[in-house]
Structure 1
Amino acid sequence: MTPMTSAQVIAIFVLLTTVGLAAANKDWGYGGGNNGGWGGNGGFPRHRPVEDHYSPRRKVVVGGNQTHWQFGFDYTNWAMRNGPFFVNDTLVFKYEMPADNSSRPHSVYQLPDLRSFLRCDVSKGKLLANWTDGGGEGFEFVMDKWQPYFFACGEANGIHCNIGKMKFFVIPFLRRWNF
């Protein structure tokens, strides 16, 4: 496999960002009448009110309350379905410590860039939570800046990330808009 050029990395990043923005706006509709909408009273797309959809500085359990951070769950798909995310939202990573040597532990790494994310290369990543930090109430990570955040499980030399789909990225929006 030949290494990706910087132009290819940038193209993939732009594509993923576009998909992320499209997913973030998945609740926009095109209605008429009193709700606004193109050609309706007001000419703007309608969107669910912010109080119905979000609360300020929300806490989101990665994978949901039942799934948590586990091998084999598609977290990239989960992130797209559960967005948009905003600056100062908290991601909660919950996972059980291994009961014995037959199960593998999990961890949470923040990867520095898209290339590391695509390759599941945690060697340049920052360990945020080791295999003991996900128990109980879990490990909390606040997205306190407007930037891409790339997360992955760093266990088993990238197998959890590559085969186990334990990776996702988020680009939080700066603020919530109340339409």
Structure 2
Amino acid sequence: MGLRYAHGLILIVTLASILGVSMANKDWGSKSNNTGWGWGWGWGYNHPINETKEGPNKIIVGGSENWHFGFNYSDWAFQNAPFYFNDTLVFKYDPPSNTTFPHSVYLFPDFWSYLNCDIKRAKMVANPTQGGGDGFEFVLKRWKPHYFACGERNGFHCKNGGMRFMVVPLFRWHY
């Protein structure tokens, strides 16, 4: 019974996270529904949700901060959501040297591994040398949660350095 409860709880948390990230659009709830009622739900035929002007975007992970230890990437992802299909996440980080710690990019297979920073179950998608120059690019091609983290020092950067976040790409809709 305890295992079923844990699986149910994980499912609820995952669905709530997906909903939260998808609703993080800064315009959500700030527009009138164009019916004259002005309820502010933004649900009219003319709302901006899931609408972008052009095609895919290139998004630098962390913005001007890039990919480094001690930055809260979960907050960054929430503040920069929503992300869409075929958007490209660009991970920029300094290559390893005598003065910098190396970084990498790992992709977790599930929410549980993400929560626990279980690097053993994750797949390295970018090694410590791939973040230099123009950075490592990851295209969001599937509708599923993507759980990213730095895997260096056996998950220490993930657990203690804030170097993890999740995104769920949405469909682009044009009216």
TM over 0.5: yes
Contact 1:107 1:131 in 2 (8 A): yes
Of all paired residues, the percent bearing the same amino acid is 42
The corresponding residue for 2:6 is: 5
Q: What's the TM-score, normalizing by structure 2? A: 0.85
Deviations 1:114-148 (A, max 9, x none): 00000011111110001000000000011111111
Matching of residue 118 in structure 1 with residue 119 in structure 2: no
Q: What's the TM-score, normalizing by structure 1? A: 0.84
**Cα distance change on mapping 1:21 and 1:105 into 2, 3 Å:** same
Question: SS of the residue aligned with 1:99?
Answer: coil
Distance between the aligned counterparts of 1:22 and 1:38, measured in 2? 24
**Aligned positions, number:** 166
Distance between the aligned counterparts of 1:37 and 1:46, measured in 2? 12
Match of 2:56, as an amino acid? R
Match of 1:12, as an amino acid? V
Q: Which of 105, 109, 115 is 2:106 aligned to?
A: 109
Match of 1:13, as an amino acid? T
Distance between the aligned counterparts of 1:78 and 1:126, measured in 2? 22
- Which consecutive unaligned segments of at least 5 residues does structure 2 have? none
Instruction: Please give the residue correspondences for 1:25-174 in structure 2 after superposition, counting only pairs within 5 Å.
Output: 26-28=26-28, 29-31=30-32, 36=34, 39=37, 44=44, 46-47=47-48, 50-51=52-53, 55-64=54-63, 66-100=64-98, 102-174=99-171
- Which consecutive unaligned segments of at least 5 residues does structure 1 have? none
Contact 2:60 2:66 in 1 (8 A): yes
Matching of residue 14 in structure 1 with residue 15 in structure 2: yes
Distance between the aligned counterparts of 1:20 and 1:50, measured in 2? 17
Distance between the aligned counterparts of 1:114 and 1:69, measured in 2? 21
Deviations 1:58-88 (A, max 9, x none): 1101001x21000011111111111111111
RMSD, matched Cα? 2.3
Match of 2:89, as an amino acid? L
Contact 2:77 2:166 in 1 (8 A): yes
**Cα distance change on mapping 1:135 and 1:37 into 2, 3 Å:** farther
Contact 2:23 2:82 in 1 (8 A): no
Distance between the aligned counterparts of 2:83 and 2:137, measured in 1? 15
Distance between the aligned counterparts of 1:50 and 1:76, measured in 2? 23
**Cα distance change on mapping 1:31 and 1:165 into 2, 3 Å:** same
Offset, 1:99: 2.2
Deviations 1:153-178 (A, max 9, x none): 0011211001101000110012x223
